[in-house]
Structure 1
Amino acid sequence: MSNLISIIIPTYNRANLIIQTLESIQNQTYQNFECIIVDDGSEDDSEKVVSNFIEKDNRFQFYKRPSDKIKGPNACRNYGFEKSKGEFIYFFDSDDFLKPHALETYFKAFKTDTDGVLAQVERVDRETGVLQDVNIIDSDNLIEDYFLNKVCYFVSGILWEKSFLNQQTELFDETIGHHDEWDFNLRMIYAKARLIKIYEPLTIYYQHQNSFKKEIEKANDFQIESAIKARLKHLKLLTGQNPVNEKVYLKHIADYHKKIVRNKLIAKQSNWFVYYKKACILFWQTHSIFSIIKMTVGVFSFYFFGKGYTYFK
């Protein structure tokens, strides 16, 4: 069907939230869409809840992640892409909310020389409903600023031309558990995606207590290692393209390790020293000796007195 938008949603244990998400799609002013929901092995009533919804609207489809694919949202997104029939692709999350005019606004912004349309996203605290921020999408030094988290693209913030995505050698990296959106969007930037920007939030991204940021604050090892893996992957890619910036990227990764050390100490986790050692090596490589000294003082302050936040800034 002409101008069909394929919306792809990975989901896992979202039975209590996903209906609100699906209704926000169903209530769009632009109605020419299909919505592909790929379940990642939910242990709640997600399948039943979604199946009941689909009975009333066959534009929504439900699939289970094939057992031969790695568990995680990236495998679900890639599988949903394989199933998609639309000329346009929109990746969405199962607990977020699409404003009523979003798809229409995205679609009308497309031009013949466009690979995607990028809009801003509101980040809202799920429990309080308080607006946290709206992401920054502009930069004169996009690759470096994106790597350093000064600029942020959400995966649900871009409507893609499918033909552009078909040209990519890889969509979502199934070996990365977290920082997956960061990895995907940064690689699309490398591919010189021609993006039209809309300076208006069209999507609400809900921040949860168990979100990635919260898990990092709680010093969750799985999320930490995934985020580090993504950064190191792109460090290798970027230094091959522009070695001049290697020190900047290394310093950013070193600072990230420093924050992990702080969080580990706060959480009283014994493996803080592993990240302390890695941080020291990275700071040494960037000739940031003062950072090593400052972090070390912070470690001693935390370890013996239980305070010392300023040393980790």
Structure 2
Amino acid sequence: MNKRVSIIIPTFNRAEIIKDTIESIRNQTYTNWECIIVDDGSTDQSEIKIPYYFKSDNRFQYHVLPVNLNKGPNPSRNFGFNLATGDYVYFFDSDDILMPFAFETYISNFENEYDAVIARLEKVDYNSKKTISINTIQSENIIEDYFTGIVSFYVCGPMWKKSFLDKQTQLFDEEISNLDDWDFNLRMLYNQPKIKFLDEVLIHYFQHESSLKQELNKLNLSEIDSAFRARYKHLALITNYGLGFKNIYLGHINNFYKHYLRLTLRSKSGDYFFFLKKILKIEWELFHILKIFKIIIGTFLYKYLKKGERFLY
């Protein structure tokens, strides 16, 4: 099989990091690919440095996202997809690393009926280079488990058949700044693609101090708001598609609110009341009257006496 892979990489101010990513692509044992790098208006001389890294390899392309388009990784991915000519599409980030045999493994597992092949990845701390975890990609209840984070593909786990993606009405949602890959992968799952799951780890996925997940844990309210807008979007989609009971997913959303309520109380942030109101609204909708009293009691016990955190779960 000699199918072409289109690799799409958004980048912003990663001129000093992306070199290793480019080298991991150049070193692939499978050689029939094109790599489309889309720069979202970098200010670190990326337009000079990045093309220099691959000046002798015409399989790489460097594009600057047009100024009339929305900014961000999602518009960059969509723009790159429109330039792709491959049989398969692989979305990648500008700071991650592929195993040398990654594409060969993906391609050898693609059969005619598959819309995607999904591999596992190793999450690595960027500074220490120590392994944090290896993700789970399979489940008997994949929609619910992907929604809750038990299963996760990230943006770089799947390789997609381009003909499957061509049929979608939307690829990456340009209104979402957090959980963008979560949103994309879930919407693809709603279309019931035929997937081959691989047990091999083919990617090193680097976790940075400045990553969006870290921003959530730092209680960046704008990013938290984006994350919850994405979750409510999918609550509506799941209900519309008849893919599960609304109350189950609403309960999962409430668990995330409780997580941030606990974080704000521990950090003595005044934002705790924002999350408390959200939790009480959902508990009321779920008719959990006793839980409403437990949450209220637990919140104020912890705030003033540093006790009662067990009521906040």
Partner of 1:278: 278
Asked whether the equivalents of residues 258 and 295 of structure 1 are also in contact (C-alpha less than 8 Å), the reply is: no
Partner of 1:135: 135
Shift of 1:142: 1.3
Which whole-Å CA distance do the structure 1 matches of 2:206 and 2:4 have between them? 27
1:188 and 2:181 matched: no
1:88 and 2:88 matched: yes
TM-score by length of 2: 0.94
Judging changes above 3 Å, is the alpha-carbon distance between structure 1 residues 244 and 7 closer, same or farther for their aligned structure 2 residues?
closer
Q: How many equivalent residue pairs?
A: 312
Asked whether the equivalents of residues 5 and 90 of structure 2 are also in contact (C-alpha less than 8 Å), the reply is: yes
Pairwise CA RMSD: 1.7
Shift of 1:309: 4.7
Partner of 1:14: 14
Unaligned runs of 5+ in 1: none
Partner of 2:300: 300
Judging changes above 3 Å, is the alpha-carbon distance between structure 1 residues 224 and 29 closer, same or farther for their aligned structure 2 residues?
same
1:231 and 2:231 matched: yes
Unaligned runs of 5+ in 2: none
Asked whether the equivalents of residues 7 and 35 of structure 1 are also in contact (C-alpha less than 8 Å), the reply is: yes
Asked whether the equivalents of residues 299 and 309 of structure 2 are also in contact (C-alpha less than 8 Å), the reply is: no
Shift of 1:307: 6.3
Partner of 1:105: 105
Shift of 1:311: 3.9
Q: Which amino acid aligns with 1:265?
A: L
Which whole-Å CA distance do the structure 2 matches of 1:41 and 1:307 have between them? 49
Judging changes above 3 Å, is the alpha-carbon distance between structure 1 residues 188 and 244 closer, same or farther for their aligned structure 2 residues?
closer
Partner of 2:221: 221
Shift of 1:262: 2.3
Shift of 1:133: 1.3
Partner of 2:259: 259
Deviations for 1:123-162, whole angstroms, at most 9, x for unmatched residues?
A: 1111122211111111111111111212111210111111
Which whole-Å CA distance do the structure 1 matches of 2:3 and 2:39 have between them? 26
Deviations for 1:241-295, whole angstroms, at most 9, x for unmatched residues?
A: 3375111111111111122222233444333312210111012212333443343
Which whole-Å CA distance do the structure 2 matches of 1:48 and 1:287 have between them? 59
The 3-state SS of whatever aligns with 1:205 is: strand
The 3-state SS of whatever aligns with 1:297 is: helix
Among the aligned pairs, what percent are the same residue?
44
Partner of 1:37: 37
Shift of 1:301: 3.5
Partner of 2:53: 53
